[in-house]
Structure formats: C-alpha cells, structure tokens
C-alpha cells in the first residue's frame, strides 16, 4: 500500500485477536510479566477483576499487528493507547481502525484505533501515526 492509496475514512479490516491462554502465557514469558491476574481467572477475580486480563501492552501489540497487515511494510512512528476498561482473556475481542487524517507533506496517515469486548464495551482507544512503504 502506498500513501496515495490511502483516503480519509478508510477502514482497516476488522480483526479478532487470539486471546487464548497459551498466547497470553507466551506473551507474558516474552515480556517477563509474570502476574497471576493475566493467566488465572480465579486469582484475577480475587483482586476484584472480572477475570484474567489481557495485558494492556499486549493489546497495543494486537493493534500494531493489525496495522502491519493492513499496510505491509509500513512504519508505525507513534502509537498512543488509553486503557478504558478490562479486556478478559479467552473472550472474543474486536479491533478496528480508521484513517482520520492524512498529511501530504509528511506522507503519513493518522489512524484511530479501538478494541471492544464481546458485549460491545470499548476497552482500549488509541491513535497511530503511520508512513507507507511505497
């Protein structure tokens, strides 16, 4: 995808990231984040949480992977995410993105990002600044 191919309002293909326990455990190992609240529903509930949580930084990784799939070879220059509510592992999350600005001078696009729960509640919002390979 080239900058010229991108238009204001373009939507990235909707994705449903893998939130299975093995994937969460793999990320926790790679990130050296060994907290029961990420991998053990009962331990998380004992902390007052609705269940084991997808780590916030991992959810940011889901969004980056979506952007890289949408625009192969692109570069993400900045990503900003705000965690608005818990995302529980082993549930179906829906991640979306839409182009909200393009800059002819820098040849970058700004993308609005969201992650929603099965119930339709928004758990993460964010933006990313992206340049393109072509």
Partner 1 sequence: MSEENPLDLEAIRSEWLGVEFDERTFEPEASRMIAWAEACGETDPRFLDENHPDFQAPPNMTTIFNSGRFLPEGFPNIGSGFGIDGGKTVECLAPIRAGDVLTGTATIADVFDKTGRSGTMVFIVQRMTFSNQSGEPVSVVDWKTIRGI
Toward partner 1, which CB reaches closer, 8 or 121?
Answer: 121
CB 71 within 8 A of CB 132: yes
Token pair 């084991």 is found at 52
Please list the alpha-helical segments (H only) found in the chain. 21-31, 36-39, 41-46, 56-70
Asked if 68 interacts with partner 1 (CB under 8 A), we say yes
Q: Provide, rounded to whole angstroms, the least separation between the CB of residue 79 and partner 1.
A: 5
Burial 26-44 (b: 16+ CB within 10 A, else e): ebbeeeeeeeebbbebeeb
Toward partner 1, which CB reaches closer, 6 or 66?
Answer: 66
Among 72, 91, 101, 121, binds partner 1 (CB under 8 A): 72
Among 83, 100, 110, 114, binds partner 1 (CB under 8 A): 83
Secondary structure class of 116 (helix, strand, coil): strand
Asked if 78 interacts with partner 1 (CB under 8 A), we say yes
Asked if 121 interacts with partner 1 (CB under 8 A), we say no
Toward partner 1, which CB reaches closer, 24 or 99?
Answer: 24
Asked if 92 interacts with partner 1 (CB under 8 A), we say no
């Amino acid at each position: 995808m080239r900058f010229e191919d991108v238009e204001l309002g373009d939507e990235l293909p909707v994705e449903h990231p893998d939130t299975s326990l093995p994937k969460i455990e793999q990320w926790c190992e790679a990130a050296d984040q060994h907290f029961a609240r990420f991998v053990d529903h009962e331990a998380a509930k004992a902390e007052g949480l609705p269940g084991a949580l997808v780590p916030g930084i991992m959810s940011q990784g889901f969004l980056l992977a979506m952007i890289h799939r949408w625009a192969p070879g692109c570069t993400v220059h900045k990503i900003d995410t705000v965690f608005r509510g818990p995302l529980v592992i082993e549930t179906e999350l829906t991640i979306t993105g839409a182009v909200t600005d393009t800059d002819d001078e820098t040849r970058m696009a700004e993308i609005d990002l969201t992650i929603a729960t099965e119930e339709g509640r928004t758990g993460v919002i964010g933006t990313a600044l992206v340049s393109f390979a072509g």
